[in-house]
Amino acid sequence: MSLNKAKYTEAAKEFESNRRQLAAYDSKGHCVVLAGPGSGKTKVLTTKLARMLAEDVKTPHGIACITYSNQCAKELKKRLGALLVEQSARVFIGTMHSFCLREVIMPYGKLAGLPLPQPLKVASVSKQHSYFTEAFSKIHPDENPKYRKTAFDEFRRIVLDRASADWINDDGVAPVIVEYERLMFQAGEIDFDAMSLYGLRLIQENEWVRKALKAKYPILAIDEYQDLGVPLHDMVNYLCIEGGIRLFAVGDPDQSIYGFTGARPALMNELADVEGVQRVRLRLNYRSGKSIINASTAALAETRDFEASDDKEGVVIDHKCIGGLDEQISLAINNLVPEALARREGRRLGDIGVLYLDRHGGAAVAHAANQAGVEYVRFDQGNPYPRTPATGWLEECASWCAGGWRDGEPPLSNLLWQWRSFFPQISKETEIRQLRRGLVSFLYSNRGADTRLRDWIKTFGDAGLFTMIRSEPTMADEVESIRALYEVCKDGQPLAGYSVANFGGQHISKDRLNLTTIHSSKGLEYDVVIMLGLEAGRIPRYNATELQIKESRRLFYVAMTRARHEVHLLWSGWYEGAGGRIFRNGRSSFVDEVMSDVKD
Ligand SMILES: Nc1ncnc2c1ncn2[C@@H]1O[C@H](COP(=O)(O)OP(=O)(O)OP(=O)(O)O)[C@@H](O)[C@H]1O
């Protein structure tokens, strides 16, 4: 038996005590796994992927696995790495955008006559904002574009048929979208949403594209299906339900928290109801204690039949802090964290997550952690540098240089594969060899944990590697993220004192407290979850619609269900709004509901 087969067979042994997990693992055709938090969706997906790659798909064919975000893709790669599945041309793991760009638009767009600029350049986030502002101001000169970007994005992601009445009758956003795309394409660029839309269009309109994709990837796997929205759902219909590519999808409609990006929780149930699709529902929660499962379901305000897989009880406690958010943060950092560490032997900072509503909350928590000398890793947009595939990959390179090279963690082959995947337009063997040589030489010559991060990144540039990234038109956003990283390493900036080891530690965070917005905590798990800022008016938001309240419930639910043993809910009954105005609406009604369940 190969080493890799031994690994996934070993991992699958745990499914023997759960017939539903086993059914998904043994499935032969389309399979959709709908399941609650901690039920082993990711475990089933990764183990099944390893098995399908070894048993069902022969080289050179492979499997494409699409997930919601770069962070989710990174987690999947990590878990597949543990099953000895190396990254290679046979495995695509990435977001919907990168699948559409790299696997559909770039190889087939020109052949299919798609009216896109060549070579294709990806518009950076700042460019996208400036095209939007210019387009909006042209169509609606008397309105402020600032508050309309969300509606613009949502409409563009949901109304895909531009011949439909919804599109034709809309004179608010639709003309702005047309103008925005004109400006962007005129500059020779494409953005993330256009990647999905054009990828879908190519698949929809060309049978030969569907056939070519099926030949390369006879299996399509999807993680976090509930968050992926209408374009992906349509794509799955064309490729799998109609086109015959085998589907393996996992997700949880109760964890759908990206309605503002066009996600629709009902789509997943719709998919599972399609004839010929095997629907598997997992009921056991392997993560959380009983009271956490029950209390989190109370926040959802729906009946669910999830059960704990063992006897652990778990605790849910609320803490009133009359002094506002600052007092909550102080209680969390100076009391709850050290007490949680002391309560269980072997517990480390990385086992605790502090969750807040937005990046402003994150900035305040990070400040308090700095003052208390607590090391942390931040997962939200407020991180000092953008978390993109390139900066994540640099963290892994740093981890390798700081000592990982000794025991192959992370494996050099994965670093090389990721590096190679940054250059989809390079296909000549000599150029690929040059790419690999450049990286290997940089990594080997820069082994050492104590080098200053700033110097290490400078050497990366001096070795010509940054120039290579800059020369790749699809990497414009990544170029910005690496520049931003370099900026924050300068004197007086947040990472000025960082060494290669510190930076590499962002990739493995066992001894750092996890700071994250609730949104970014998706898919993660901690022993202890500390939730801050749970005030009425903030969660759910003041004046929220019925749909928004439902999504806020799911957000609260996602946060609570990250915990294995303890959930701490912190509130003050008041909060400071924009412009320093104080709102005294009491604590979030979700805390009331949860705590009344705990007391019952
Ligand atoms: N059959 C099993 N036996 C023992 N442990 C299991 C089993 N299945 C899953 N687990 C463990 O349960 C935990 C949760 O699994 P996993 O992260 O795959 O769940 P999930 O459904 O993806 O969670 P979420 O949707 O909340 O992110 C993991 O620690 C995993 O190893």
Tens digits of residue pLDDT in 484-532 = 999 999 998 888 888 998 888 766 668 889 999 999 898 889 999 999 9
Inter-axis angle of helices 476-487 and 453-462, to 10 degrees? 140
Contact 243, 218 (CB under 8 A): no
The band of 74, judged by pLDDT with boundaries at 50, 70 and 90, is confident
Q: Please write the tens of the pLDDT for every residue from 533-548.
A: 999 999 999 889 999 9
* Percent of the chain scoring above 90 in pLDDT: 63
Structure-model confidence comparison of residues 435 and 125, the more confident one: 435
Q: What pLDDT score was predicted for residue 599?
A: 66
Mean pLDDT of the chain: 91
Is the per-residue pLDDT at 413 higher than 90?
Answer: no
**Which residues are 320's β-sheet partners?**
571
Report the nearest-CA residue for atom 12 of ligand 1.
286
Query: What confidence tier does 75 reach under pLDDT thresholds 50, 70, 90?
Result: confident
Question: In whole angstroms, how far apart are CA 180 and each of 114, 186, 261, 450, 500?
Answer: 18, 10, 18, 47, 41
Pocket test for ligand 1, best of 43, 45, 297 (most atoms within 8 A of CB): 43
Please give the pLDDT value at position 506.
66
The mean pLDDT value for 18-22 works out to 96
- pLDDT over 70, % of the chain: 98
Q: Nearest CA to 71 among 570, 514, 599? A: 514
Q: Whose CA is nearest to atom 7 of ligand 1?
A: 40
| Whether the predicted pLDDT of 437 surpasses 70 | yes
With a 6 Å cutoff on the Cβ, whether 18 touches ligand 1 is yes
Tokens of 498: 């960082």
User: Per-residue confidence at 388, pLDDT binned at 50, 70, 90?
Assistant: confident
CB 321 within 8 A of CB 570: yes
Strand partners, 576: 582
Question: Is the CB of 287 inside a 6 Å radius of any atom of ligand 1?
Answer: yes
Cα gap 284→369, rounded to integer Å? 36
Ligand 1: distance of its center to the CA of 478 in Å?
A: 32
CB contact at 8 A, 245 and 213: yes
**Token pair of 212 as six digits:** 């070519």
DSSP 208: H
Record the pTM.
0.86
Output the pLDDT for position 507. Answer: 61
- What are the beta bridge partners of residue 247? 220
Q: Which of 10, 25, 39 to probe ligand 1 with, by most ligand atoms within 8 A of CB?
A: 39
At 145 the pLDDT is 83
CB distance 34 to 272 below 8 Å? yes
- Structural Rg of the chain based on CA atoms: 24
* pLDDT band with cut points at 50, 70 and 90 for residue 266: confident
User: Residue 3: is its pLDDT beyond 70?
Assistant: no
Task: Count Cα atoms within 13 angstroms, Cβ side, for 482.
Answer: 21
Question: Quick one: pLDDT at residue 155?
Answer: 87
Write out the H or E segment, with its range, that includes residue 530. strand 526-531
Secondary-structure breakdown of the chain: helix, strand, coil percentages, each rounded to the nearest 5: 55, 15, 30
